[in-house]
Each structure stands twice: as structure tokens, then as C-alpha cells.
Amino acid sequence: MVGLGGTLGASSYSFGKNEGLALAEALGSVYTIDMVMSFDSHSGWQKIIDFKDRTSDMGLYTSNTQWYFYNIGSMGNVPADGQSARVTLTRDSGSLVSLYVNGALAGSFTDSGNIATFSGAKANFFVDDLTNAKPEAGAGNVDYIATFDRALTAAEVANGVSPVPEPATGAMLAAGLGMLALLRRRSGKA
């Protein structure tokens, strides 16, 4: 993970408006992203996941009080301002994209247009695309982000049972967070 602004704390990563994280490796077209995150407040559009290396407006957002996959539609209500939610996004080999919130299915769609594939692009979290003059982003926190090279089943998501991520992904996340801590220490903010 690469920091795009924000602050690494003892138990979470805090980000300001249009600050966030980027995954250095592309996830491809079959994956699971599992995270616990919150926005300080819900107003307007706030991007959670950008799939096309910040070159497209397509992505997973909150839009006021709703989870929203642009340009597919609403997928249920977001939690209260500042309240964390476990957000799990899967895309399977049949192009079915499913959004789970706190283990329950919030919505799904068949991604025939490949808008939720990474196709060589890195995943960006909590930052809007570069095509937008007024960033659609918000401030908040993320406790963890885990990625998998397969779609978790609904039962795995509901039970909170996540298979061990592939070693490269786990090592990359640990190394990235370690680098953020080292940079923070070197800048005298330890």
C-alpha cells in the first residue's frame, strides 16, 4: 500500500478529503476487497474504490445516505457519520459484483461492461479520479484493507471468515504500512 496523504495511527489510517491509499499491484478481474472504514460525515459523493487508476468516474461511492456504485445505482443505506462499517466487494469469474456491508449482501450486478475490473490499473482507495475538477471525496478512517485473488463466498463474508490472503498481498500490505511508519518516524512525528 502506498499512502496518498493521510496519517498512520496505532490502529487505523486517517485520511483527509482526497487523501487515501493505493495498492501497488493490480487486482485483475476476479477479487475480493475487504475493509473496515468510516467517513467522518456523509454529504455529496465520496469515492471509496477507484478501479481505473483515477482515469474514470466509475467506482464505489457513498452518495449522501446511500452506498452507490456509479453508474449502476444505489445499494442501501450507509451507517451514521463516523460509524465504521465492514465493506466487502467481490467480483467473481462470472462477472457478478457483490457489495456486502457488515456481512450482509447490500446489492449486486452483472458487470458486463467491466467497470469493476482493474485491468492492469492499481486500486485507489478514498481518492477521486483526476478527471473531476471538484473531488468527490471525504475524510475518514480505515482500520484494515485485505485483498484476495478470488471472490469470497457469501457464507465466508457473512461469517467473517476470510481465507489467508496470498503471501505476496499480505507481505506487500505489511511492507507498505511499515514504510509509512518509517516515513512518519523520519519526519519527526513519531
For the chain, the C-alpha Rg in angstroms (whole number) is: 16
List the grid coordinates of 14.
Answer: 486517517
On the question of pLDDT at 187 being above 80, the answer is: no
Identity of the amino acid at 37: M
Q: What average pLDDT does the segment 5-27 reach?
A: 90
Q: How many CB atoms lie within 10 A of CB 42?
A: 21
pTM assigned to the model: 0.82
What are the distances in angstroms from CA 159 to CA 33, 66, 100? 16, 24, 12
Is 2-186 a CATH 3.40.50.2000 domain? no
Name the helix (H) or strand (E) containing 110: strand 104-110
Please name the residue that has the C-alpha cell 481505473: 52
Tens-place pLDDT, residues 18-73? 899 999 888 889 999 999 999 999 989 999 999 988 888 889 999 999 999 998 99
Smallest Cα–Cα separation from 60: which of 127, 146, 147, 142?
Answer: 127
Within a 13 Å sphere around the CA of 180, how many CA atoms are in the beta-carbon half?
21
pLDDT tier, 2 (very low <50, low <70, confident <90, very high otherwise) = confident
Percent of the chain surpassing pLDDT 70: 84
pLDDT tens, residue by residue, 126-164? 998 888 777 899 999 999 999 999 999 999 999 986 445
Can you give the residue ranges of every domain in the chain?
2-186
List, in sequence order, the alpha helices (H) in the chain: 154-158, 167-186
Task: Find the mean pLDDT for residues 110-128.
Answer: 90
Amino acid (1-letter code) at residue 77? N
Please report which confidence band the pLDDT of residue 93 belongs to, taking 50, 70 and 90 as the band edges: very high
